[in-house]
Amino acid sequence: MAVQSALALVGAAKQSVKGTAGTTATFGHGLTDGAIMTVEVDQSIEEHTSGTRASGDVNRTAITAGVDFTCRAHPKSIGLWSYGALGGIASTGAGPYTHTITLGSDLPYLTTFGTLAGNYFKVQDVKVDSLAYKWNANDPLEVSVAGMGTQLAILASNYTTTNDESNAVYFTPVGGTFSVDVDGASGTAATAKINGGEVSIANNADSVMVSGTIYPDDIVVGRQEVECSFDVTPDDLNLWRTIVTGTSAATSVSSAVLYGTFSMAFSNGTNTLTLAATRVAFTCDFPDADPAGGTITLSLAGLAVSNAGATPLTVTLVNSQASY
């Protein structure tokens, strides 16, 4: 009997400390792409000479497990994934709750869970290496998560999921608000005709291998890099002109970097998810001409950096989850 690929779920739980895996998944949901977990086996041919022209051995040096999948942004679990990618969270309210997720000096360890057609797995000490929020027009928001962990465990039975979000409730651009300001002159991002975009977080994670153990001893993160790209249908070329010259009225190029802002708010009923940055250096290619005609699209690309020591990206989540 074949293994059914549609019977796939992932889950996650925050660990209080490294080395102690969670026993139940705090959140769980389905996938739109990718795998419920990744297992990378490092092994290569033994490099020594012998009496034959072929090597007779292969060395296995590491097994690194983790996650690498794409999913919808579900109202509760997106908070844990975002916290896992940024490293800090502050929650207020008495229901609905507002979670402000920002840069931490490190990342929390997660235990990730996965099920595939009656097979159950978990990986402990996972740190989120990268996370990207991506959308096109009014298509549902898509989230790509990649993380690295230490030990893989193949479970004898299914795990419990406290908050099961596999029932297809997720954030979409419909009803949201999308704003961008390439020079920060107005102090706040202005609403723009955004056709789609992506906001990505890269933590430059790497595994620490120590002699004697086949799986990583730890996962460490490097500098956090936040990038964004937005496709905009402009009324004029002022966005491009401002980026290149410094103002919408200037006539020569500027040597100074302009820092702007963006705010992208998604909706799901009373739940909202807002991605915002206040120090973003944008670039923009000059738009192509098209013999077939039609409106131009400006593709803004930005690097979001720390603003006077503050977080480069703020994820604000309003939902019914009290805490993470």
Partner 1 sequence: MSAYKFDNAVKGEFATSEGLVEFEYPAGEVMPKGDEDALAFCLSAGVASIVESKPSSKKSEPVAVADVTTEEN
- Interface residues with partner 1 (CB under 8 A) are 16-18, 87-93, 100, 102-108, 309-311, 314, 323
Q: Which is closer to partner 1, CB of 12 or CB of 107?
A: 107
List the structure tokens of 28. Answer: 């769980």
List the structure tokens of 107. Answer: 């990342």
Residue 10 beta carbon to partner 1: minimum distance, rounded to whole angstroms: 21
Beta-carbon contacts of 154 under 8 Å, excluding residues fewer than 6 positions away, are 119, 120, 121
Residue 17 beta carbon to partner 1: minimum distance, rounded to whole angstroms: 6
> Residue 290 and residue 42: Cα distance in Å, rounded?
48
Contact criterion met (CB below 8 Å) for 244 and 168 = no
Residue 286 beta carbon to partner 1: minimum distance, rounded to whole angstroms: 36
Residue 323 beta carbon to partner 1: minimum distance, rounded to whole angstroms: 6
Q: Which is closer to partner 1, CB of 157 or CB of 323?
A: 323
Residue 104 beta carbon to partner 1: minimum distance, rounded to whole angstroms: 4
Q: With left for phi above 0 and alpha for psi between -120 and 50, is residue 293 left, alpha or beta?
A: left
> Residue 190 and residue 200: Cα distance in Å, rounded?
21
Q: Which is closer to partner 1, CB of 16 or CB of 255?
A: 16
Q: Which is closer to partner 1, CB of 84 or CB of 176?
A: 84
Beta-carbon contacts of 290 under 8 Å, excluding residues fewer than 6 positions away, are none
Quote the Cα angle for 199-223-90, to 5°.
65
Residue 309 beta carbon to partner 1: minimum distance, rounded to whole angstroms: 6
Q: Which is closer to partner 1, CB of 202 or CB of 284?
A: 202
> Residue 14 and residue 80: Cα distance in Å, rounded?
8
Q: Which is closer to partner 1, CB of 16 or CB of 252?
A: 16
